[in-house]
Amino acid sequence: MDQTQSFRFFNRGPSSGVRLVFFSALSLALMFVDARFRYLESARSVLSVLVMPIQQLATSPMYLWDQIGGIFITQQAQHNLQLDNKRLQLQHQQDTAQLQQLQAMRLENQQLRNLAQLPVSPKFSAQLAEVIYAERDVFKRKVLISKGVNAKIEVGQVVMDNAGIVGQITRVFPWLSEVTLITEKDRAVPVQVLRNGLRSIVFGAGDTSQLSLRFMPEGADIQSGDILVTSGIDGVYPPGISVAKVEKVERDPSYPFARITCVPTAGVDRHRHLLVLSNLPKLPERPAEESANDEADKRAKQGIK
């Protein structure tokens, strides 16, 4: 028999199964004693301190990977937030534009309804026109409307909206017409005070929001809040249509005339749709004024010196 085999035979220890059972029982016993009497708590604390650097070294690659991944995730999240923010801003701008368009359409529809409900005198007719262009010269108060010779528009026709007189046709083109607004500087409209029938003439001041009532005596019966309507005396504007509202009356005893500021009742610089009046009744032609020679001949025939 080989000497090595003889040595292994006589020196063979416990089998693997016995050792497994032994160490398992020992582990259970130590766990029971530690749980019951806390004998190994201090030893476990010391071991945890000694093992901590090894644990940190072992987990450092995973921690580093998590940090790098977190950086990329954060950057991607910020990029997504920026894209969402831009998208929301664009959507907000589009919604705001649509809301403004809807509001403009609502106001336009309201004005059209007001024009449709406006009672028109049987003595004349009216046709609807749309403001297409505004005068580029800031010192002129004129607009161009969408009706011209094709719609039988003529110079001198009155233009109004649902609130009052806007202006008068001053030039006509094949497809367009020029409207001079009543706020054009020195543009005159014969009016009367609705409250007492007092007649006067209102003039444009060159400002879209102001008119002036000139040459009214200092003691005239006119006050703030009075409504001025067309008197119809000149035959251009039909009588009884609103023109302006008296805003301020200034009286100075040292000056013969009151200083009166008015505001137009019509939306001269706001409304897009207007009415052009036609077929107005014509007044008899005004007789020519007599010259000085004619007056002298007339007096001579009558024997007046």
pLDDT value of position 305: 45
Q: Average the pLDDT over each of 161-170, 185-194, 219-228, 263-272 and give the range with the smallest value.
A: 263-272
pLDDT (0 to 100) of residue 123: 66
Share of the chain above pLDDT 70, in %: 83
Pairing of strands 227-230, 188-193: antiparallel
Cβ partners under 8 Å of residue 50, min gap 6: none
> Could you give the CA distance from residue 182 to residue 203 in angstroms, rounded to a whole number?
8
Q: pLDDT tens digits, residue range 31-65?
A: 777 777 766 677 777 777 777 787 777 777 777 77
User: Does some domain include residue 154?
Assistant: yes
Evaluate whether 143 touches 134 at the Cβ level (below 8 Å): yes
Quote the mean pLDDT of the chain: 81
CATH number reported for the structural domain that contains residue 244 in this entry: 2.40.10.340
Q: What is the pLDDT of residue 298?
A: 59
Q: Check residue 304 and give its pLDDT.
A: 47
> Looking at per-residue confidence, does 65 or 145 come out higher?
145
Tell whether 116 is covered by a domain.
no
Rounded to an integer, the average pLDDT of 126-143 is 87
User: pLDDT tens digits, residue range 181-214?
Assistant: 999 998 999 999 999 999 999 999 888 789 999 8
Is there a contact between 272 and 130 (Cβ–Cβ < 8 Å)?
yes
- Three-state DSSP class for residue 174: coil
Structural domain count, the chain:
1
Position 303 in a domain:
no
- Whether 133 maps to a domain, the answer reads yes
The number of C-alpha atoms within 13 Å of 10 and in the hemisphere containing its C-beta is: 6
65: in domain: no
For 117-187, strand residue ranges (E) read 125-134, 142-145, 158-161, 164-172, 177-181
- Taking the alpha carbons of 223, 225, 228, 229 in that order, is the dihedral positive or negative? negative
**Tens digits of residue pLDDT in 257-303:** 999 999 999 988 888 889 999 887 777 777 776 655 666 565 555 55
Say if CB 274 and CB 157 are below 8 A apart.
Answer: no
What is the domain extent for residue 142? 125-278
Contacts 24+ apart (CB under 8 A), 81-85: none
Q: Tokens 């010259």 identify what position?
A: 291
Residue at 76 is within a domain? no
Tell me whether residue 44 is in a domain: no
Instruction: Report the pLDDT averaged over residues 121-142.
Output: 82
- The residue type at 32: F
Structural domain includes residue 186: yes
pLDDT at 80 over 70: yes
Rounded to the nearest 5 percent, the helix, strand and coil shares of the chain are 40, 25, 35
